Structure 1
Amino acid sequence: MKFLRSETVNESKLLLKLAGPIIIGQLGQNLIQLADTVMVGHLGPVALGASAFASSVFIVFLIFGLGMLAPMTAMFAHAQGQEDHPRGGTLLGHSLLVALGIGVVLTSVLMGLLPYLHIFGQRAEVLEAGAAFYQVITWSIIPSLIYQAYKQFTDGLGRTKVAMYVMLAGVVINVVGNYLLINGHYGFPKLGLVGAAWASLAARVLMMLTMICYVHFHPQFKKHLVNPWLRSFDKQTLQNIIRLGIPSGFTFFFEVGAFASCAVMMGWFGAIPLAAHQIALSLASTSFMVTMGIGISSSIRVGFELGRGDYKMARHAGLTAILLGGAYMTLCGLGFFVLRHWLPTFYVSDPDVIAWAAQFFVVVALFEIFDGVQAVAIGALRGMSDTQWPGVIAFFAYWIMGLPGGYYLAFHLGVGPIGIWIGLLIGLIFASILLTYRFHRLSQRFIS
């Protein structure tokens, strides 16, 4: 027992060492959206609701692309565990090809969807304010995915600080851009809501360019980039990335799509509940970024240990990470409950929006726990190259149980807007239980 506790402590330290820079980078990614929410919030509930709606549609497609690339972290870590350095460079070239291809497709789909945004049932003032924001933010998908491909590469090699510094620089660029373009300071045009979209686009383009330059010019990556990409193209490698990436993308899509659908349903209650929903979601998403960092580190650890052939240690790393994620989010849930009336005041002064957000935080306090567990369990499974069953579980949890449950509570039982959040809680409960059980059973098979 003492040995087991010692191993758990050591593994926790290793996970957190890897996760620390990833967490800061993930928080930075969310801070770009958080900065938009806070700075747009001063323009009023309609502008905040419009950005929430446009972002909810956009983020579903972006997340699908990020999910397509997510298995790459474990693949890079697996090659590192085998000490096959040129393999890492080959995988990077193929992942960039996938990133560019899926980026073009998603951008085209989003632009094609623009004339049909009214089908989501939003109010006219929200659609009018959000259309220009939506058009600009759509162009940031391609640079976001290319940046992500390089991030997966550096993270998978254990160089997690690289993306962290780049992301932090991106946050600064975004905040400064918001300040200049939303309000028209220092001679810049006063663009209002759309200024936030231009600032986010500029930040993501500069982040992409920085990652490209750093990876290709820093000496530490030369041993990985020894083979010319065109000569090392391998159809089987590309097919393998796509085979793992598509179900992983749909796993992300089903979860984030459920949250985006909840934002759409919340809009049916009006701009004030929608603005409150955006506030609660943005803070919950900020805490979730920490868990995502732990999940990515679990994917790295599990993939690395499998590359070394140590299956028992791979299982231990995954289970320890799941425990860490659940414990952290329990603390976050307590914080949200205690501070539920105070936190919304950072965004708005409207008493109705604050009151609705405080109600939502009561439910958020509960689902934080399950959200933490499921996020890390998905990362651990990804480290084992298991992406198909997590996709099935996500579809069942969110689209069979969570969304219909929330809709029924909100619109048929008369619970109102908070019923939508209860539906999310139901989906997360099912996802956390089923994904953890899946990792337990699959990792057991490796060591039995």
Structure 2
Amino acid sequence: MKLSAYTKEFEYNIRLAWPVILGMLGHTITGIIDNIMVGKLGAAELAAASLGNSMVFIAMSVGIGFSTAITPIVAQHDAEKNVAKVRSVFHHGLFLCSVLGIFLFGTVFFSKPLMALMSQPEEVVVLAGPYIDWVAFSLLPMVIFQGYKQFADGLSLTKYAMYAVIISNVINIVINYLLIYGIWIFPEMGIIGAAIGTVVSRIFMLVYMHYILVKNEQLKIYFTNFSIGNMKKKMLRRITALGLPSSMQMFFEVALFTGAIWLSGYIGKSSQAANQIALSLASMTFMFAMGLSVASMIRVGNQKGLKDYNKLLLVARSIFLLAVLIEIVFATLFILLHDYLPHFFLNMTDTTLLAENIEVIKIASQLLLVAAVFQISDGIQVVVLGALRGLQDVKIPTFITFVSYWVVGFPVSLYLGLYTDLKATGVWIGLLAGLTVAALFLYLRFNYLTKKLIHQEA
């Protein structure tokens, strides 16, 4: 097939993906601003926020991964014009997300003692404990919000979540500024101020998302007859059968990056702070691929509902190509700016922190060179995963991600990080290895399934 056939799809792909990208990017940029604000307090505070967020992000990955099951099922039934099934998926999905949010909050809250068993710097652990208490609670509104978001995404209404995230991020930044540093009448709360900002902004995000969806005349039909008593085991099982493996896929990847944070903490405070800087920047560029992954999930889900498998393959490959091109641009920027970007995260005017900050910048600049390469693999694996979820194929991809990240990636990170002079850079080479293996085998899985569907149709 000619290249022009794929590039023709770029415009629609971007139109569907850009609200998702902007919303996710806004959320990530706020996280970066959080890190910059907290980083001004010192490397210990930045490392504490990194350690605390690592525990919360693991739980969040489970919640977000589970909620993605809603999107392809809604997209399929929307293409079939089946209003009753779309409503049923929405109600059951929202109920499951609510239960899961409560469970994840409790799990993180009671898991704090694990920090003491991970050989993390004592100063960092002491600062991270109270921070986790607040941020763990924010998981509840966050996961419920995901239920609304994935429903809207399945209907190709990707702008609503974008509005919710952007406005909530503005609220988060303002609260952070006031409470971290104690501006005006507000108390100086350090990293706890950042945690409170996260909680308040996520509660707002949920309230706003419910309000904007329920006020839409075309969507009101989906908000009728909601009752816990109407929950059906068949639909709960269907969503769970797709959502549980999806949550494990995201869990395996996020846990790998969390393992990198813990390994960096074991190496030292400077390595952990540098890891957080590089991870913040890599996460920002990764959001572009995440947005395209959602577009991939929606469009593949639609074509599955229409049973047009040749078009499905064309659409998916066009998104894969677009993701690779975008990530190559970012890789180039990381290579060109790797010595300059880390300076934005640290206070280089404070002479008492200057020596340790110079060390952090040196390590972070090296990590960005590895990140330049691995984000291409990361972009490929996430858009292919989106396409596989659109096909509602999750079991084998879950096995692929586990093997890639934990049989290949983490052992490489462990060995190179702790037993060679590469240290933090070695940890990130392990990330690169795991992501590359995942990208390769997930694509082979997608290619096999689509060829099989096309052959059956013929």
TM bin (shorter chain): over 0.9
CA distance in 2, matches of 1:176, 1:9: 41
Listed one character per residue, the Cα deviations across residues 27-52 of structure 1 (whole Å, up to 9, x for unaligned) are 12222322211111110100000000
State the partner residue of 1:115.
113
Cα deviation for residue 291 of structure 1 reads 0.4
Give the secondary-structure state (helix, strand or coil) at the position aligned to 1:278: helix
CA distance in 1, matches of 2:94, 2:280: 29
Structure 2 residue 435 is the aligned partner of structure 1 residue 442: no
CA distance in 1, matches of 2:164, 2:314: 31
State the partner residue of 1:372.
379
- More moved, 438-447 vs 223-232: 223-232
Contact 2:263 2:417 in 1 (8 A): no
State the partner residue of 1:415.
422
Among 110, 115, 125, the alignment partner of 1:127 is 125
Q: Amino acid of the residue matched to residue 193 of structure 1?
A: I
**How many aligned residue pairs are there?**
446
State the partner residue of 2:260.
262
State the partner residue of 1:425.
432
Among 229, 234, 237, the alignment partner of 2:235 is 237
CA distance in 1, matches of 2:226, 2:261: 45
CA distance in 1, matches of 2:113, 2:268: 22
Give the secondary-structure state (helix, strand or coil) at the position aligned to 1:83: coil
Contact 1:87 1:224 in 2 (8 A): no
- 4+ runs deviating over 4 angstroms: 229-232
Structure 2 residue 21 is the aligned partner of structure 1 residue 20: no
Contact 1:99 1:145 in 2 (8 A): yes
Q: Amino acid of the residue matched to residue 408 of structure 1?
A: Y
Give the secondary-structure state (helix, strand or coil) at the position aligned to 2:267: coil
State the partner residue of 1:283.
281
Among 337, 340, 343, the alignment partner of 2:338 is 340
State the partner residue of 2:354.
none
CA distance in 2, matches of 1:231, 1:310: 37
Listed one character per residue, the Cα deviations across residues 93-152 of structure 1 (whole Å, up to 9, x for unaligned) are 111111111111111111111233201111110001111111110000110011111011
CA distance in 2, matches of 1:215, 1:262: 39
CA RMSD of aligned residues (A): 1.3
State the partner residue of 2:66.
68
CA distance in 2, matches of 1:273, 1:377: 32
CA distance in 2, matches of 1:374, 1:420: 20
- Give the TM-score taking structure 2 as reference length: 0.95
Cα deviation for residue 394 of structure 1 reads 0.8
Contact 2:267 2:418 in 1 (8 A): no
State the partner residue of 1:54.
52
- Percent of pairs identical after alignment? 34
State the partner residue of 1:323.
321
Contact 1:86 1:225 in 2 (8 A): no
Structure 2 residue 301 is the aligned partner of structure 1 residue 303: yes
- More moved, 399-408 vs 311-320: 311-320
State the partner residue of 2:141.
143
Contact 2:58 2:254 in 1 (8 A): yes
CA distance in 1, matches of 2:400, 2:27: 26
Cα deviation for residue 230 of structure 1 reads 4.6
Contact 1:329 1:369 in 2 (8 A): yes
Q: Amino acid of the residue matched to residue 214 of structure 2?
A: H
Cα deviation for residue 226 of structure 1 reads 4.3
Contact 2:6 2:317 in 1 (8 A): no
CA distance in 1, matches of 2:123, 2:228: 50
Q: Which runs of 5+ in 1 are unaligned?
A: none
Contact 1:299 1:382 in 2 (8 A): yes
Cα deviation for residue 188 of structure 1 reads 1.2
Cα deviation for residue 232 of structure 1 reads 4.7
Cα deviation for residue 256 of structure 1 reads 0.4
Q: Amino acid of the residue matched to residue 216 of structure 2?
A: H
Structure 2 residue 395 is the aligned partner of structure 1 residue 397: no
Q: Which runs of 5+ in 2 are unaligned?
A: 349-356
Structure 2 residue 362 is the aligned partner of structure 1 residue 363: no
Listed one character per residue, the Cα deviations across residues 364-404 of structure 1 (whole Å, up to 9, x for unaligned) are 11111111100100001000001111111111011000010
Contact 1:32 1:200 in 2 (8 A): no
Cα deviation for residue 213 of structure 1 reads 1.3
Give the secondary-structure state (helix, strand or coil) at the position aligned to 1:121: coil
State the partner residue of 1:353.
360
Give the secondary-structure state (helix, strand or coil) at the position aligned to 1:133: helix
Listed one character per residue, the Cα deviations across residues 393-424 of structure 1 (whole Å, up to 9, x for unaligned) are 11101100001011111222332221100000
Contact 2:56 2:108 in 1 (8 A): yes
- Give the TM-score taking structure 1 as reference length: 0.97
Contact 1:86 1:226 in 2 (8 A): no
Contact 2:274 2:360 in 1 (8 A): yes
